[in-house]
Structure formats: C-alpha cells, structure tokens
Amino acid sequence: MAATAAATRRFLAPGRVNLIGEHTDYSGGLVLPAALDLGVTVTVTAAERIRLHSDGHTARVDIAADGSGDRPVGWGRFVAAVAAQLAALGRPPVGIEGSVSSTVPPGAGLSSSAALEVAVATALCAVADVALEPLVLAAACRNAEEEAVGVPCGILDQAASVLGEPDHAILLDCGSLAHEAVPLPAGLRLLVVDSGERHAHESSGYADRRRELEAGLATLGWPAPAELSPDDLGALEGIPLRRVRHVVTENARVRDTVAALRHGDEAQLGALFRGSHESMRDDYEITTLALDELVDLAYAAGAVAARMTGGGFGGSIVALVHEDAAERIASEVVEGFTRGAAIARLCAASAGAREV
Ligand code: GLA
C-alpha cells in the first residue's frame, strides 16, 4: 500500500486582553482576561523534527522534536522551550513541519508570545496524540516563557489562551486554578488601544515589581494577598507597602468587577477600572504617560470603563464601550492622542486554543 502524505492540520491560539486583575497572578490572586479574536495560527504536518517558518520573520526554526540541542534565537526560543517542557511531561518526540502566522501585535500587551507558545503546544500535543488538561498545557507554556526569556511571569496569559470562551471573560483564581466564564454584557464591546510604545518584559521593570511585591509579602509572613485587606498592611511602608497594596486592592476589584458585569452596573465598572488604573499608576508604577493619556481620552469620549492592560511599561489600554458608540470612541481616542500613533481595535471575546 502506498504511504499517504501526512495530513495538514491547523491550530489557532488567541492572544488575550486582561479586563482587570493586573500583576495579581504570580501571587496566586484573581484575574479576569478574555481571549481575543487575534491569534497565532500554526499550519503543520507531522514530521520527524520541528521545522517552522513564520510570515514576517526571516529566521526559521529547525530543532529536534523534543526541543533538545542548541537553543535558537528570536521567536524560535519559545518553540524550543515549549517542546522541551512537553517532553518533560512525557510527550513522545513527534515533530511538526509548516508555518506560523500571527495577528497579535508583538509588545502591545496582548500576549503574542503566549499565543505562540499555546499554538505550538496544541499542535505538538495533537500530532503526538497527547491530551493534556488545558491548564496543564498552559502551565507548561508559562514555564516555557520563563525558560525562553527569563521573565518570571504568572499563568494569566497562557491560561486565557486555553480557557477563552466567545462573549465571556474568564475569572481565574491563580492560586487554586478554579475558573468560571463570566458573560460580558450584551451591547458592550471591547476596545483595545495600542499606544505604540513597545516593551519587552525581559528588560522592563516586570521582574523588579515581582521582587518588590515578594519582599513585602515576606515581611507579612507570606499571606495570600487575595485574602488581605488594606488594613492588614500596617507592618509595611514605602515601596513594599505600595506594591502589596496594589495587589490587595486589585484582587478586590476583580471580585467587584465580576459582580458589576453580572448586574450590568456600568457606573461601578467605570469606577473599578479607573481605580485599577490609578493603583497601577501610583502604587505599582507600571503605567506610562501615554497609557495615562489614552485612559483619560477614553473616558472623555464616553467609554464605560478604561484602564491599562497587561504587564505595563507600554502596550495597550482596554476599554468597555457601548456598541453604538464604539467606532466614534475609537476614533476620538486615536485622534486625541498626543504621544505617538495609537492603533484602536474593536475586539470580540473568543474561544480558546483549538484545531481549526
Ligand atoms: C504579563 C505576564 C502575566 C501577568 C501580566 C500582568 O502579561 O505575562 O503573567 O503578570 O503581565 O497582569
């Protein structure tokens, strides 16, 4: 019998926007992301090695199916680290050959690297007939991110990419990994505005923030910040106080946002997003003047709620806007922006990683 050519299969993993719950994940707190209708697509056949090329990148990846050997540079670092993490979980060394394409803008705070990791991991598991629990796959991809670029991130981005549901945000407790889908109110759209200011958490203050937070938590005897109130922070002062206070109040804002979404309480959503942005600006010190300006412009144009989203130090804001005003608000924010060329995207909350 003639051998049949290996079938071409296509896998998609979305980027994410975090509605609220910023820098809460790596201390076991609450986050509320939505997967986006922007993502990374991997179109491959099963093969002996992992051989991938990508639109927009000249560098190709050509590595062993278990990720072993010399580490590639550039985007290939993520691929190799994912393959190595999955090999450590017992995935048989089946390779993939084909292409990678992305609609997630890199460095915009929308988790382009997590989408790449999750898309590659989903493909590698599928061709090897390995079925991992979604959050086990997400954790492997989180570990790959840290292995590839040394960023001590939490599980937010990768979890959002696997758990996403159309028209829902995902409430995830990063401590217990319990999660539930929270419907987004009909009539509200997600507006993501990219400041154009680029950041890479390899070199941003991301790791410093985590260290400063943990110094504060160590002084308090390592409590779970999601169970603290601001009144519990009397033993702290200065930077550790501000870092812990952000995380404590941000966890509370995630709970309150879920309640406000369920009740369609727009005034409360506006106040919570505003409070989150101010806490990131003043206590966690991760916003930029460009992000502060975009948030002000969004509220001035009539957004229900707006705040910086993602790791910070550049990237995007997320706003909740009424459907019938969405286009107008998007253009007013972009036109009013004085600190560069912003790009507005009206997005839909989408399904998580899957074969397409
Ligand atoms: C980045 C990290 C996430 C999370 C956010 C901030 O996206 O990868 O783990 O910490 O920043 O909420």
Amino acid at 36: L
Indicate which atom in ligand 1 lies nearest the CA of residue 21.
12
Atom of ligand 1 nearest to the CA of 153: 9
CA of 153 to the centre of ligand 1 (A): 6
Buried b (16+ CB within 10 A) or exposed e, 237-271: eebbbbbbbbbbbbbbbbbbbbebbeeebbebbbe
Pocket test for ligand 1, best of 23, 27, 32 (most atoms within 8 A of CB): 23
Q: pLDDT tier at 5 (50, 70, 90 boundaries)?
A: low
pLDDT at 94 over 50: yes
pLDDT digits (tens, 9 = 90+) for 230-283: 999 999 999 999 999 999 999 999 999 999 999 999 999 999 999 999 999 999
pLDDT tens for 172-207 read 999 999 999 999 999 999 999 999 998 777 778 999
Mean pLDDT value across residues 53-76: 90
List the chain domain ranges: 9-180, 184-347
**Would you tell me which CATH number, out of the four given (3.40.309.10, 3.30.230.10, 3.40.50.720, 3.40.50.450), belongs to the domain 9-180?**
3.30.230.10
Q: What are the tens digits of pLDDT across the range 315-328?
A: 999 999 999 999 99
Among 66, 157, 173, 283, which one carries the catalytic annotation?
A: 157
CATH number belonging to domain 184-347: 3.30.70.890
Q: 245: Cβ–Cβ under 8 A, 6 or more apart, which residues?
A: 230, 233, 279, 283
**pLDDT tens digits for range 293-307:** 999 999 999 999 999
Task: Note whether 232 and 140 are within 8 A (CB).
Answer: no
Q: What pLDDT, on a 0 to 100 scale, did the predictor assign at position 2?
A: 47
Contact 118, 161 (CB under 8 A): yes
Indicate which atom in ligand 1 lies nearest the CA of residue 23: 12
Q: Ligand 1 centre and the CA of 311: distance in Å?
A: 5
Segment 112-157, tens digit of pLDDT: 999 999 999 999 999 999 999 999 999 999 999 999 999 999 999 9
Averaged pLDDT for residues 87-94: 98
Three-state SS sequence of 88-99:
HCCCCCCEEEEE
For residue 160, give every residue at least 6 positions away whose Cβ sits within 8 Å of its Cβ, in sequence order, or none: 14, 16, 18, 31, 33, 34, 35, 111, 114, 170, 172, 352
In angstroms, what is the span from residue 7 Cα to ligand 1's centroid? 36
Among all chains, which residue has been given the structure tokens 């670029």?
149
pLDDT greater than 80 at residue 1: no
Q: Which residues line ligand 1 (CB under 6 A)?
A: 18, 22-23, 25-26, 153-154, 156-157, 310-311
Q: Is 157 a catalytic residue?
A: yes
Percentage of the chain with pLDDT > 90? 92
Residues 266 and 165: their CA atoms lie apart, in Å, by 22
The pLDDT of 86-103, averaged and rounded, is 98
Mean pLDDT over the full length of the chain:
96
pLDDT at res. 327 = 98
How does residue 58 score in pLDDT terms, banded at 50, 70 and 90? Answer: confident
If you take atom 11 of ligand 1, which residue's CA is the nearest one?
311
